[in-house]
Structure 1
Amino acid sequence: MPELPEITALTEFLDERLSGAQLTQFLLPSAFALKVADVPHESLIGRTVGSVCRRGKFLIFEIAPALEERAEGDTEGPLYLIVNFAKSGWLLFTEHQPGAEANAAGGYFAAQLGFSNNSHNYGVTLTDTGTWKGLAIFIVREPVEVHGIAELGPEPLDVSFGLDEFRRLFTKRQQIKGVLKNQKLVAGIGNAYSDEILHAAKLSPVAHASSLEPDAVERLFRAMKDILSGAIKEFSGKKPDELKPSKKASMRVHGRTGEPCPVCGDTVREVTFVGTSLQYCPTCQTNGAILAKRGHDEDS
Structure 2
Amino acid sequence: MPESPEVQALADELDATLRGRAVGGVDVVEFRVTKTRSRPLTTIVGGRVLGVTRHGKLFAIELDGSEFLVVSLGRHGWARWGGDAPEAAATGTEATDAAGAAPVAAAADAEPPPPTLVSLEFDGGAVLELTDAGGWVSLGCFVVDEPNEVAAIAKHGPDPADPAFTREDFDRAVAGRRKQVKAILQEQESLAGIGNAYSDEILFAARLSPVAHASTLADDELQRLYEATTGTIRGAIEARSGIPIDRLKRAKVDAMQVHGRTGEPCPGGCGGEVRDFSFASTTAQYCPECQTGGEILPLKEG
TM bracket (short chain)? 0.7 to 0.9
Structure 2, unaligned runs of 5 or more: 87-92, 94-110
The code of the aligned residue for 1:152 comes to H
1:216-235, Cα deviation, whole Å (9 max, x unpaired)? 10111111111111111111
SS in 1 for 2:24: strand
- The reply on whether 1:209 has 2:210 as its aligned counterpart is no
Q: Give 1:181 deviation, angstroms.
A: 0.4
CA distance change for structure 1 residues 222 and 134 in 2, over 3 Å: closer, same or farther? same
- TM-score, structure 2 as length reference: 0.87
1:60-99, Cα deviation, whole Å (9 max, x unpaired)? 100113xxxxxxxxxxxx111011111111111247279x
- The reply on whether 1:282 has 2:266 as its aligned counterpart is no
Counterpart contact for 1:181–1:189, Cα < 8 Å: yes
Counterpart contact for 2:119–2:130, Cα < 8 Å: yes
- Give the equivalent residue in structure 2 for 1:174: 179
Match of 2:121 among 111, 114, 117: 114
CA distance in 1, matches of 2:30, 2:198: 33
After superposition, the CA RMSD in angstroms is 1.9
Identity %: 42
Match of 2:75 among 87, 95, 114: 87
SS in 1 for 2:32: coil
- Give the equivalent residue in structure 2 for 1:25: 25
Counterpart contact for 2:27–2:120, Cα < 8 Å: yes
Structure 1, unaligned runs of 5 or more: 66-77, 296-300
CA distance in 1, matches of 2:280, 2:183: 15
Match of 2:143 among 139, 143, 151: 139
Q: Give 1:164 deviation, angstroms.
A: 1.5
Q: Could you tell which deviates more after superposition, 136-145 or 197-206? A: 136-145
Q: Give 1:43 deviation, angstroms.
A: 2.5
- Give the equivalent residue in structure 1 for 2:231: 226
Count of residue pairs the alignment pairs up: 276
1:117-139, Cα deviation, whole Å (9 max, x unpaired)? xxx42111111010111111111
- Give the equivalent residue in structure 2 for 1:158: 162
Q: Could you tell which deviates more after superposition, 84-93 or 184-193? A: 84-93
- TM-score, structure 1 as length reference: 0.87
- Give the equivalent residue in structure 1 for 2:14: 14
CA distance in 2, matches of 1:282, 1:198: 12
- The reply on whether 1:294 has 2:300 as its aligned counterpart is yes
CA distance in 2, matches of 1:165, 1:128: 34
CA distance in 1, matches of 2:119, 2:49: 15
Counterpart contact for 1:199–1:285, Cα < 8 Å: yes
SS in 2 for 1:110: strand
CA distance in 2, matches of 1:151, 1:238: 30
The code of the aligned residue for 1:163 comes to R
1:182-231, Cα deviation, whole Å (9 max, x unpaired)? 00001000000000000000000000000000011011111111111111
Counterpart contact for 2:41–2:142, Cα < 8 Å: no
- Give the equivalent residue in structure 1 for 2:97: none
- Give the equivalent residue in structure 1 for 2:256: 251
